[in-house]
């Protein structure tokens, strides 16, 4: 009778829980994840445009305007497209005297963007004098704000010139090379406006020495297009998060790497070591993201080699991975991960508690860009499942979501602006989404995928207008996508999908996807299965090759993403788990960009139309009922079960 009454009481309490939860917006149970990343790391960044105002800028541009008039209009277009508040300044040379190699001045300091002030500054510039490019570059770098200690920020000098330096001291290419050595986040881009021969060679050299890109602008329309590309690429740099750390040159001196995110840098051929204290049963994930300056020269096999070792006199490699560009057109963000995953039998060398070492090695070809790369390291520790849990079998096949079936989503595409990296990846859900990509740019998105579910998506690149050229040179680039697990480990395409294709401006489709999310996938060898072992946010990255800037007529290329999350979400990783209650999260409304993260946990509920106090009261009351209900059930079950406990889980 008492047992029957206890079950009835628990049923009533659970009914109350369900009613309370059904009345308000549901909240999802959080999967194991790293601690919240600190809101720091970007440091001081900014853009200073260096505008040629020498006498030749008074020449005709070919469309009824002078070159200076075309440049003014192009600068106005750029500042209108930059993000609000982005630090932006303007330096000019050759604007104040008919001759003189010291004629350079800051027309607008690098401050939070004031569009009217920048437009007013450039409107007052008249072409007069000489072309002291080298000196102007030196001054421009000093105009940019210094990075905060230990922080990483992209600082860009954007040179616009219609000719070569005619002063010679300092030589522009030498000046750019020396300046570029002053910090990992400095980039010097150059735009040649109606230049050829020696002038083009010099500006190309300045950009390459300055770890930047050269953009050719044969006419006024091209100037506006290339200036917009270069400026927006600077403003859209990877948003770093983490605390400073300096990796050691050997395992013996490796600094402690605590759970969370950390920032470092790495040079060509360099190896960095870090140490982590691990217990015997938890899984530890080490994600490493390198962010070279976009579009700079790289080799096909350039990248990172990652290893996690045991410590001691005879260390053993527990996991290793390589992250390479797989193309030699130009650099893009690069991410890889290694893990210490305890074996199912818990009897291997890498199952022991102790000190483990993360080794990060950079591989770079001799003719690749030699600038130091900023590194973002993410360490996450996942506790083992409760003792006695019997997990579902691993899922190694794609099933219905193979390459032969496109995502089953319909409706008009919703506009969205992808993030710059993992930290500000914009959340999207099932549906059709549209965005735009600049040459050498990568956009990031995240999709929630639960236990037992699998992700399938395609990326469509449209039929873009291209520029006519007088020569017979074939201009081509590439498009690519990558998919990353919550650990940031890349997920292979297996033999199913195509994540990289050549691009000529004609329609092209990429596709990717996962097997069902299953806890025991961690013990599978295949690279398209092993990372898919935790429910949570899966990251989609979409990239456009740098060479697209040589043939695409529009500043950005339109892309359409079709995303499907298939399968019923299960309540957990255990065998025969019941369906989870509805945990759908709101994707951004049409036109939304990458969110900065709500100041309060209730922001999502408020955006969905629920009043915050009501939501807190409902969820708080439901939580209290749930605790009581579970306590009653646990007591009754233990009373009827006796003292014996289940055995260690790990396999079905």
Same domain, 117 and 187: yes
What average pLDDT does range 34-46 have in this prediction?
47
497-548 pLDDT, tens per residue?
A: 999 999 999 999 999 999 999 999 999 999 999 999 999 999 999 999 999 9
Among 12-26, 124-138, 203-217, the minimum mean pLDDT is found in 12-26
386-414 pLDDT, tens per residue?
A: 999 999 999 999 988 888 888 999 999 99
Asked if the model's pLDDT at residue 651 lies above 90, the reply is no
Domain final residue pick, 201, 235, 269: 235
Token output for 122: 């450039």
Q: pLDDT band at 324, cuts 50/70/90? A: very high
Residue 345's CATH number: 2.60.120.680
At 13 the pLDDT is 36
What average pLDDT does range 64-83 have in this prediction?
95
At 584 the pLDDT is 56
pLDDT top residue among 24 and 398? 398
Enter the pTM of the model. Answer: 0.83
Please name every residue paired with 272 in a beta bridge, in sequence order, or none if there are none: 360
Q: pLDDT band at 146, cuts 50/70/90? A: confident
Asked if the model's pLDDT at residue 358 lies above 70, the reply is yes
At 587 the pLDDT is 61
What average pLDDT does range 105-130 have in this prediction?
96
In a domain, 648, yes or no: no
In a domain, 14, yes or no: yes
Q: pLDDT band at 565, cuts 50/70/90? A: very high
Do 585 and 450 form a contact (C-beta atoms < 8 A)?
no
Same domain, 211 and 260: no
The span from the CA of 92 to the CA of 575, in Å, is 68
At 586 the pLDDT is 57
Token output for 491: 């997920």
Same domain, 397 and 520: yes
In a domain, 38, yes or no: no
Among 426-440, 531-545, 633-647, the minimum mean pLDDT is found in 633-647
What average pLDDT does range 294-304 have in this prediction?
96
For residues 285, 290, 295, 300, the Cα torsion angle rounded to the nearest 10 degrees is -70
Same domain, 230 and 329: no
Token output for 276: 């982590």
At 590 the pLDDT is 54
| Number of residues in the chain | 652
At 343 the pLDDT is 93
At 593 the pLDDT is 58
Same domain, 609 and 529: no
The span from the CA of 77 to the CA of 344, in Å, is 59
In a domain, 37, yes or no: no
In a domain, 651, yes or no: no
At 71 the pLDDT is 97
Same domain, 170 and 143: yes
Asked if the model's pLDDT at residue 252 lies above 90, the reply is yes
At 23 the pLDDT is 39
pLDDT top residue among 231 and 642? 231
Angle at 67 between CA 65 and CA 68, to 5 degrees: 100
In a domain, 301, yes or no: yes
At 4 the pLDDT is 37
Neighbours of 406 (CB within 10 A): 14
At 73 the pLDDT is 96
pLDDT top residue among 597 and 328? 328
β-pairing, 354-363 vs 88-93, is: unpaired
Same domain, 198 and 251: no
Asked if the model's pLDDT at residue 5 lies above 60, the reply is no
What average pLDDT does range 72-91 have in this prediction?
95
Q: Tell me which residue of 415, 526, 533, 435 sits closest to 481, measured CA to CA.
A: 435
pLDDT top residue among 174 and 622? 174
Is cis: bond before 149, omega within 30 of 0? no
Do 515 and 455 form a contact (C-beta atoms < 8 A)?
no
DSSP state of 487: T
Q: pLDDT band at 149, cuts 50/70/90? A: low
Q: Tell me which residue of 323, 43, 324 sits closest to 186, measured CA to CA.
A: 43
Report the domain count for the chain: 4
Asked if the model's pLDDT at residue 608 lies above 80, the reply is no
Q: Tell me which residue of 83, 68, 53, 78 sits closest to 424, measured CA to CA.
A: 83
Asked if the model's pLDDT at residue 11 lies above 60, the reply is no
Asked if the model's pLDDT at residue 644 lies above 50, the reply is no
Asked if the model's pLDDT at residue 79 lies above 80, the reply is yes
At 192 the pLDDT is 97
Asked if the model's pLDDT at residue 490 lies above 60, the reply is yes
Same domain, 196 and 64: yes
Please name every residue paired with 558 in a beta bridge, in sequence order, or none if there are none: 436
At 615 the pLDDT is 32
Domain final residue pick, 217, 235, 253: 235
Same domain, 425 and 571: yes
Asked if the model's pLDDT at residue 606 lies above 90, the reply is no
Asked if the model's pLDDT at residue 570 lies above 80, the reply is yes
Residue-number span of the structural domain to which 616 is assigned: 2-31+602-641
- Helix, coil or strand: residue 37: coil
What average pLDDT does range 232-259 have in this prediction?
96
Q: Which residue has the tokens 């499907």?
A: 564
At 613 the pLDDT is 31
At 181 the pLDDT is 86
What average pLDDT does range 48-76 have in this prediction?
96
pLDDT top residue among 348 and 153? 348
Asked if the model's pLDDT at residue 7 lies above 60, the reply is no
In a domain, 433, yes or no: yes
At 400 the pLDDT is 81
Percent of the chain topping pLDDT 70: 81
Q: pLDDT band at 589, cuts 50/70/90? A: low
Q: What is the sign, positive or negative, of the torsion defined by CA atoms of 501, 473, 165, 221?
A: negative
pLDDT top residue among 495 and 118? 118
Domain final residue pick, 175, 205, 235: 235
Asked if the model's pLDDT at residue 190 lies above 60, the reply is yes
At 605 the pLDDT is 29
**What is the average pLDDT value for the chain, to the nearest integer?**
85
At 620 the pLDDT is 41
In a domain, 39, yes or no: no
At 572 the pLDDT is 96
Same domain, 459 and 584: yes
Residue 108's CATH number: 3.40.50.410
Same domain, 353 and 398: no
What average pLDDT does range 278-292 have in this prediction?
97
Residue 571's CATH number: 2.60.120.380
Please name every residue paired with 374 in a beta bridge, in sequence order, or none if there are none: 265
At 649 the pLDDT is 30
Q: In sequence order, what E strands does 30-147 have?
A: 46-52, 88-93, 104-111
Q: pLDDT band at 618, cuts 50/70/90? A: very low
Token output for 328: 């030699």
Same domain, 483 and 581: yes
């Amino acid at each position: 009778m008492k047992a029957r009454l206890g079950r009835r009481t628990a049923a009533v309490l659970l009914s109350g829980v369900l009613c309370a939860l059904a009345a308000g917006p549901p909240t999802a149970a959080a999967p194991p994840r790293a601690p919240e990343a600190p809101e720091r790391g970007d440091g001081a960044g900014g853009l200073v445009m260096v505008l040629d105002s020498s006498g030749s800028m008074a020449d005709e541009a070919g469309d009824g305007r002078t070159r200076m008039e075309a440049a003014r209009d192009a600068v106005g277009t750029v500042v209108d497209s930059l993000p609000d508040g982005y630090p932006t300044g303007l330096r000019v040379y050759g604007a104040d005297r008919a001759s003189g190699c010291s004629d350079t001045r800051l027309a607008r300091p690098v401050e939070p963007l004031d569009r009217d002030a920048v437009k007013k500054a450039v409107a007052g510039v008249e072409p007069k004098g000489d072309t002291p490019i080298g000196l102007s570059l030196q001054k421009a770098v000093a105009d940019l704000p210094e990075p905060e200690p230990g922080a990483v920020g992209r600082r860009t000098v954007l040179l616009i010139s219609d000719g070569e330096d005619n002063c010679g001291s300092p030589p522009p290419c030498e000046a750019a090379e020396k300046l570029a050595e002053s910090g990992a986040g400095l980039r010097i881009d150059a735009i040649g406006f109606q230049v050829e021969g020696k002038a083009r060679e010099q500006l190309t050299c300045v950009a390459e020495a300055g770890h930047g890109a050269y953009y050719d602008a044969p006419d006024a329309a091209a100037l506006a297009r290339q200036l917009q590309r270069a400026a927006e690429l600077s403003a859209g740099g990877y948003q770093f998060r983490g605390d400073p750390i300096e990796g050691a040159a050997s395992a013996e001196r490796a600094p402690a790497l605590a759970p969370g995110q950390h920032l470092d840098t790495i040079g060509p051929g360099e190896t960095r070591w870090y140490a982590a204290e691990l217990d015997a049963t938890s899984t530890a994930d080490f994600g490493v993201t390198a962010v070279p300056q976009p579009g700079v020269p790289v080799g096909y096999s350039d990248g990172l080699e990652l290893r996690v070792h045991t410590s001691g006199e005879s260390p053993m490699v527990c996991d290793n991975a390589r992250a390479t560009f797989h193309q030699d057109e130009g650099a893009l963000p690069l991410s890889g991960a290694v893990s210490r995953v305890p074996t199912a039998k818990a009897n291997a060398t890498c199952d022991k508690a102790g000190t483990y070492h993360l080794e990060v090695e950079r591989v770079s070809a001799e003719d690749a860009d030699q600038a130091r790369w900023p590194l973002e390291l993410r360490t996450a520790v996942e506790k083992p499942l409760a003792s006695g849990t019997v997990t579902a079998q691993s899922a190694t096949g794609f099933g219905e979501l193979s390459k032969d079936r496109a995502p089953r989503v319909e409706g008009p595409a919703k506009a969205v602006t992808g993030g710059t990296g993992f930290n500000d990846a914009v959340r999207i859900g099932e549906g059709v989404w549209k965005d735009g990509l600049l040459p050498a740019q990568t956009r990031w998105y995240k999709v929630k995928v639960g236990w037992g579910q699998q992700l399938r998506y395609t990326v469509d690149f449209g039929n873009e207008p291209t520029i006519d050229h007088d020569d017979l040179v074939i201009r081509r680039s590439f498009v690519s996508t990558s998919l990353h697990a919550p650990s940031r480990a890349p997920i292979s395409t297996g033999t199913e999908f195509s994540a990289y294709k050549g691009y000529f401006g004609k329609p092209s489709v990429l596709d990717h996807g996962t097997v069902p999310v299953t806890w025991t996938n961690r013990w599978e060898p295949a690279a398209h299965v092993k990372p898919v072992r935790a429910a949570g946010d899966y990251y989609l990255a979409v990239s456009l090759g740098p060479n697209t800037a040589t043939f695409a007529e529009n500043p950005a290329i339109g892309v359409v993403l079709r995303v499907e999350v298939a399968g019923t979400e299960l309540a957990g990783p255990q065998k025969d788990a019941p369906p989870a209650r509805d945990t759908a999260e709101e994707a951004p409304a049409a036109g939304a960009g990458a969110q900065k993260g709500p100041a309060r946990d209730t922001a999502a509920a408020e955006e969905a139309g629920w009043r915050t106090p009501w939501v807190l009261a409902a969820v708080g009351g439901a939580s209290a009922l749930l605790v009581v209900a579970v306590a009653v059930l646990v007591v009754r079950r233990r009373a009827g079960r006796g003292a014996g406990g289940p055995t260690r889980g790990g396999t079905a």
